[in-house]
């Protein structure tokens, strides 16, 4: 395992909310439980269960969304996730997340993403590169890692992790909401946003709902990745 950890790695499928530390989830859940907003023992069982069906996976994501509804928490989990990937010697990371709205917390999609960026800037254990480079070749990551590792070991600089962001369209969203996410991605291209993701519970929503937003994203030069094949075709609308 030491050898695997020491290898430079490229991570192309990381969900922000799917990469949160269990310890952080437990802490957040306990705080809500103390305030009477959740029943902590029930939440604890969900968090600690590791052998999950697809239905249980999305129940887990629903729980995580309840626990990560304010800007401060979004910033914290982003910082921790980057630190964890860097500790495993991931040198190029594509991190996807669904911009969320929470009126009660004063959160809109843009402020959510600003909280994510604040988390990236807060990382101190490694240098985080978020500036988008259209021609960046992630296949050169091993050389990048070797160079940065040598600089770090010589005391001449920190190791570096290249982070690029994908904004996710949730399959529960409307066409208008999906288009809002694409326009936000275009607005934030200079801040490391390189593409659009379609994700969420695969048994919810219809493909034609998201097609206009995805076509618009493609026309504007954004990269697109899709979650598909997660359920039998007969159950997909």
Give the predicted TM-score (pTM) of the model. Answer: 0.85
Per-residue pLDDT at 4: 84
Count of CB atoms within 10 A of residue 98's CB? 22
Per-residue pLDDT at 140: 53
Domain coordinates in residue numbering, the chain: 2-20+68-235
Which backbone phi and psi does 106 adopt, to 5 degrees?
Answer: 70, 30
Residues 6+ apart with CB under 8 A from 154: none
What residues form DSSP beta bridges with 170?
A: 199
Burial class (CB in 10 A: 0-12, 13-18, 19+), 29: buried
Residues 6+ apart with CB under 8 A from 77: 16, 17, 20, 24, 68, 119
What residues form DSSP beta bridges with 127?
A: 160
Residue-wise DSSP of 43-70: HHHHHH--S--HHHHHHHHHHHHHH--S
Concerning whether 133 is annotated as a catalytic residue, the answer is no
Residues 6+ apart with CB under 8 A from 63: 29, 43, 46, 47
Cα(first)–Cα(last) distance of the chain, in Å? 42
The pair of structure tokens assigned to 202 is 């695969």
Enumerate residue ranges in the chain where pLDDT < 50.
134-135, 139, 142, 153, 234-237
Strands 160-170 and 127-129: parallel
What residues form DSSP beta bridges with 87?
A: none
Q: Report the topology of domain 2-20+68-235.
A: TIM Barrel (3.20.20)
């Amino acid at each position: 395992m030491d050898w695997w950890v020491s290898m430079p790695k490229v991570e192309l499928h990381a969900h922000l909310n799917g990469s949160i530390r269990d310890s952080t989830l437990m802490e957040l859940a306990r705080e809500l439980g103390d305030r009477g907003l959740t029943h902590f023992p029930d939440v604890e069982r969900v968090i600690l269960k590791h052998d999950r069906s697809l239905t249980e996976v999305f129940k887990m994501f629903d729980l995580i969304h309840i626990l990560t509804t304010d800007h401060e928490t979004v910033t914290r989990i982003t910082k921790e996730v980057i630190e964890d990937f860097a500790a495993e010697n991931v040198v190029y990371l594509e991190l996807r997340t669904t911009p969320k709205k929470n009126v009660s917390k004063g959160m809109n999609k843009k402020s959510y993403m600003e909280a994510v960026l604040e988390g990236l800037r807060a990382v101190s254990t490694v240098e985080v590169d978020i500036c988008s480079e259209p021609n960046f070749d992630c296949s050169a990551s091993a050389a990048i890692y070797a160079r940065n590792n040598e600089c770090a070991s010589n005391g001449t600089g920190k190791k570096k992790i290249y982070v690029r962001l994908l904004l996710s369209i949730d399959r529960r969203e409307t066409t208008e909401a999906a288009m809002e996410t694409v326009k936000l991605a275009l607005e934030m291209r200079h801040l490391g946003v390189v593409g659009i993701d379609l994700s969420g519970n695969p048994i919810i929503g219809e493909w034609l709902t998201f097609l206009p937003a995805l076509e618009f994203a493609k026309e504007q030069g954004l990269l697109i990745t899709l979650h598909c094949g997660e359920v039998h075709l007969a159950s997909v609308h």
